[in-house]
Amino acid sequence: MDTTIFETIKKEIRNQTTIPYFGLGVFEGIMTKDGEAVPHDSDSLILAMNGGRAMAPRLMYEYSRAAMHLEQRRGVEYMTQLINHIYTKPFDPTPLHKAIVDMMPRYIIDTNRDTKLQEVLAYTPHCMIIGKARIMGNDYRYEVYEYDVENQKYFLVEEEVLETAEKILFKPMGTPLPNPSFIISDADYVDWLTEAMGGYAVPKVLKTYRKTKKYLFLGTSFDRDTDRMVANELSLDLEGGYVITDKELGKKEKKFIDKHNLEVIPMSLPEFIKAFV
């Protein structure tokens, strides 16, 4: 493996031409302080949602389907509390979270539902965009917050603030902080993706900023329709980018990777992290 690729990617992150994009796989092998595995893929997230028990095969296909089933039985509020419980169990930010923030990118996309990047940024002024679903009153599917370092608090602000923000963290699928809010079930995704396709899920500033950028997909796989559709909407106008995987790619994954001009780095994510961090 040509090691210059790692230096190239680092340089591109530092000079703001490549945008880091975090997915579930970044938590592979990560444990909470109580010794529980942090969900790192669809199956482990379903098990976490269902008290460690597998669900029916049709529900095990994708976590959003399993979440929809639980939501229909127990309600939206139950799901919010459940996901909040999973992602507020104490565990440290990973070396990858710290390394990426140290590279000083202006903009990071984190499709996970934890607070680790927020914790790493706790002493850095930043803005955060939280994705929302099924909200009444407008078509927009996000809220913009500004972080006050002195008071360690987020304040809801108008999106114009993003124009001059030095750091922007985009959490399209939600986060426990400042208020638990998540996109997790099929119904959430259908609503978010429908509005995203209409241009209502990404603030205007970012639509301009992201033009001709590359993306570094970390722990993201494209074998499920949902993940592909979300990545497609968040990376419109991209120049290309990188996918890290040592798995054999399916037909749909290959098609997505080719269409988006992504370079496959054939390593497992833990191997990549070792070489990269």
List the chain pLDDT tens, one digit each, 277 residues. 677 999 999 999 999 999 999 999 999 999 999 999 999 999 999 999 999 999 999 999 999 999 999 999 999 999 999 999 999 999 999 999 999 999 999 999 999 999 999 999 999 999 999 999 998 788 899 999 999 999 999 999 999 999 999 999 999 999 999 999 999 999 999 999 999 999 999 999 999 999 999 999 999 999 999 999 999 999 999 999 999 999 999 999 999 999 999 999 999 999 999 999 8
DSSP code for 92: P
Alpha helices in 114-250 (DSSP H): 116-120, 186-197, 204-209, 225-234
Cα(249)–Cα(239) distance, rounded to whole angstroms? 21
Q: At what angle do helices 269-276 and 4-14 cross, to 10 degrees?
A: 70
The residues near 152 (Cβ < 8 Å, ≥ 6 apart) are: 122
Encoded amino acid at 141, one letter:
R
SS3 at position 179: coil
Contact 63, 42 (CB under 8 A): yes
User: What tokens appear for 48 in the block?
Assistant: 């976490």
Q: Give first-to-last CA distance, the chain, whole Å.
A: 16
The torsion angles phi and psi of 264, rounded to 5 degrees, stand at -85, 125
Tell me whether residue 37 is exposed, middle or buried, using C-beta atoms within 10 angstroms of its C-beta: 0 to 12, 13 to 18, 19 or more. middle
Single pTM value for the model: 0.97
The residues near 224 (Cβ < 8 Å, ≥ 6 apart) are: 42, 62
SS3 at position 242: strand
Cα(87)–Cα(163) distance, rounded to whole angstroms? 30
DSSP code for 106: S
The CB density around residue 257, as the number of other CB atoms within 10 Å, is 19
Cα(220)–Cα(24) distance, rounded to whole angstroms? 6
CA Rg value for the chain: 18
The CB density around residue 92, as the number of other CB atoms within 10 Å, is 14
Cα(84)–Cα(41) distance, rounded to whole angstroms? 17
DSSP string, 6-25: HHHHHHHHHTTSEEEEE-GG
- pLDDT given for residue 210 in this prediction: 97
Looking up tokens 């992290």, which residue turns up?
273
